Amino acid sequence: MALIVQKYGGTSVGDVDRIKNVARRSIAAQAAGHDVVVVVSAMSGETNRLLKLVSQISDRPSEREQDVVLATGEQVSIGLLALAIQAQGGKATSFLGHQVRITTDSTFSKARIKHIDAERIVEALKQKHIVVVAGFQGQDEQGNITTLGRGGSDTTGVALAVALKADACEIYTDVNGVYTTDPNVCPAARKLDRISYEEMLELASLGAKVLQIRSVEFAMKYKVPLWVKSSFTDDPGTLVCEEDKSMENVLVSGIAYDKNEAKIDINGVPDTPGVAAKIFGALSERNIGVDLIVQTASHQGRTDLTFTVGKTDLPHARELVERVAKEINAGAVETDVEVSKVSIVGVGMRNHSGVAAKMFQVLSGEGINIQLIATSEIKVSCLIHAKYTELAVRALHTAFGLDQPPVEG
């Protein structure tokens, strides 16, 4: 007998029939002899609907109150799911985050889980109940309701699996696993049987939306094997797990793209110590994250500095950068939102050279200009014109041999 945590996303509980389907699946898992804890998201579209209500009242809402509103979405789905399980003859109890003491810090809207006191869950499991827990929410030390950031139910699922020492954590979604790239963009995309935590983490940070980044960090830290599966099929899905030797044979495991960044250029930046610190210090003070950065070689004591920020941060970032540019006596500030970041990821890159060069060749072969480059041990990212995103992804997918399944050995 095993203890299984199953997490179902918004589309999996998107309507009453789908909720009944989840009830059937959790009952089947219990009938197979397991203790079952189910974490659910709000019904699809619900969190957005709630956010919209908030925005109609205030454009700078108190994050504490916004969390009070957003946390209600999951309350509806846990109650409905528990009812559906009961209607099918099963035993079920639902719990909100605070009822099972999911304690977080007080960073409203993106709180981090600090600990979970799973006593009530264990008690209910002993009574042979399927335990249904609200994802995405917790409570801080003062008893305020908090939420974990968009997609946060994944993290609730993994954190519960850790707290309960579960044997497996299954993340159910509307696709049947993790793909080599977005199948909507590249018809040749393939489902992966396995992927390492590290690769998954990179892909999630680079724009792949299957799992919340923090849930992967958690799983990696505590070595929880994560299954990504579809709630609509019986496909075994993708296992996210520790890296092993065979994974290194594959140069590139996945390709991600992200159209949510914007580029900022500062021309004629005086080439003196402290200037970069001033610019990026001002941005970080305002919690504006900077991604790719490039500085050109100094020419007559001046350089050009180019970097990217999130599109939603652009208006604010531009204002700040223009102010600092004046202070340091730099030239014009230009921005561009028609950009996209395309990245290749693979642990095999660690032991192979020439991967980045091949990526550049493929892009240039398609006539695509590379505006910025960033690399890490297991990824290479290029910023290109947004209109070439699909072309770039497809060309890279083919060039790195992802159109065909890898040869074992």
Supply φ then ψ for residue 74, to 5 degrees.
-75, -25
| Contacting ligand ASP within 52-91 (CB under 6 A) | 73
Question: 177 or 346, CB closer to ligand ASP?
Answer: 177
CB 59, min distance to ligand ASP, A: 20
Q: Which residue has 């079920």 as its token pair? A: 92
Q: Which residue has 């020439």 as its token pair? A: 354
CA distances to 41, 51, 52, 75, 294 from 47, rounded to whole Å, are 9, 6, 9, 12, 37
Instruction: Please choose, out of 40-48, 53-61, 300-308, 355-363, the segment that lies near ligand ASP by the rule CB under 6 A.
Output: 40-48
Question: 148 or 342, CB closer to ligand ASP?
Answer: 148
CB 82, min distance to ligand ASP, A: 18
Binding string, residues 364-403; x marks residues near ligand ASP by CB under 6 A: ----------------------------------------
Q: Total residues at the site for ligand ASP (CB under 6 A)?
A: 13
**57, containing H or E segment:** helix 46-57
Residue 9 sits in the site that holds Mg ion (CB under 5 A): yes
**Residue 47 binds which entry of Mg ion, ligand ASP, none, CB below 5-8 Å type-dependent:** ligand ASP
Question: 153 or 303, CB closer to ligand ASP?
Answer: 153
**Residue 97 binds which entry of ligand ASP, Mg ion, none, CB below 5-8 Å type-dependent:** none
Residue 97 sits in the site that holds ligand ASP (CB under 6 A): no
Total Cβ atoms within 10 A of residue 167: 15
Question: 175 or 396, CB closer to ligand ASP?
Answer: 175
Distance (Å, whole) CA 102 – CA 226: 20
CB 47, min distance to ligand ASP, A: 3
Instruction: Please choose, out of 2-10, 23-31, 83-91, 124-132, the segment that lies near Mg ion by the rule CB under 5 A.
Output: 2-10
User: CB under 8 Å to 391, separation ≥6 — which residues?
Assistant: 366, 368
Residue 41 sits in the site that holds ligand ASP (CB under 6 A): yes
| Contacting ligand ASP within 102-161 (CB under 6 A) | 135-136, 150-154
Sign of CA dihedral 374, 375, 381, 382: positive
Question: 160 or 347, CB closer to ligand ASP?
Answer: 160
Do 79 and 94 meet the contact criterion of CB atoms below 8 Å apart?
A: yes
Question: 113 or 372, CB closer to ligand ASP?
Answer: 113
Residue 164 sits in the site that holds ligand ASP (CB under 6 A): no
CB 162, min distance to ligand ASP, A: 17
∠ at Cα 29 (223, 37), nearest 5°? Answer: 55
Q: Minimal CB distance to Mg ion: which residue?
A: 9
In the DSSP assignment, the letter for residue 225 is -
Q: Which residue has 């179902």 as its token pair? A: 8
**322, containing H or E segment:** helix 314-327
DSSP letter string over 28-46? Answer: HHHHTT-EEEEEE-PPTTH
Question: 44 or 389, CB closer to ligand ASP?
Answer: 44
Instruction: Please choose, out of 8-16, 60-68, 182-190, 387-395, the segment that lies near Mg ion by the rule CB under 5 A.
Output: 8-16
Question: 136 or 179, CB closer to ligand ASP?
Answer: 136
By three-state DSSP, how is residue 286 classified? Answer: coil
User: CB under 8 Å to 311, separation ≥6 — which residues?
Assistant: 260, 261, 262, 337
Question: 42 or 392, CB closer to ligand ASP?
Answer: 42
Distance (Å, whole) CA 133 – CA 94: 6
Instruction: Read off the tokens for 133.
Output: 């827990």
Distance (Å, whole) CA 210 – CA 195: 13
Residue 151 sits in the site that holds Mg ion (CB under 5 A): yes
* Positions that interact with ligand ASP (CB under 6 A): 9-10, 41-42, 47, 73, 135-136, 150-154
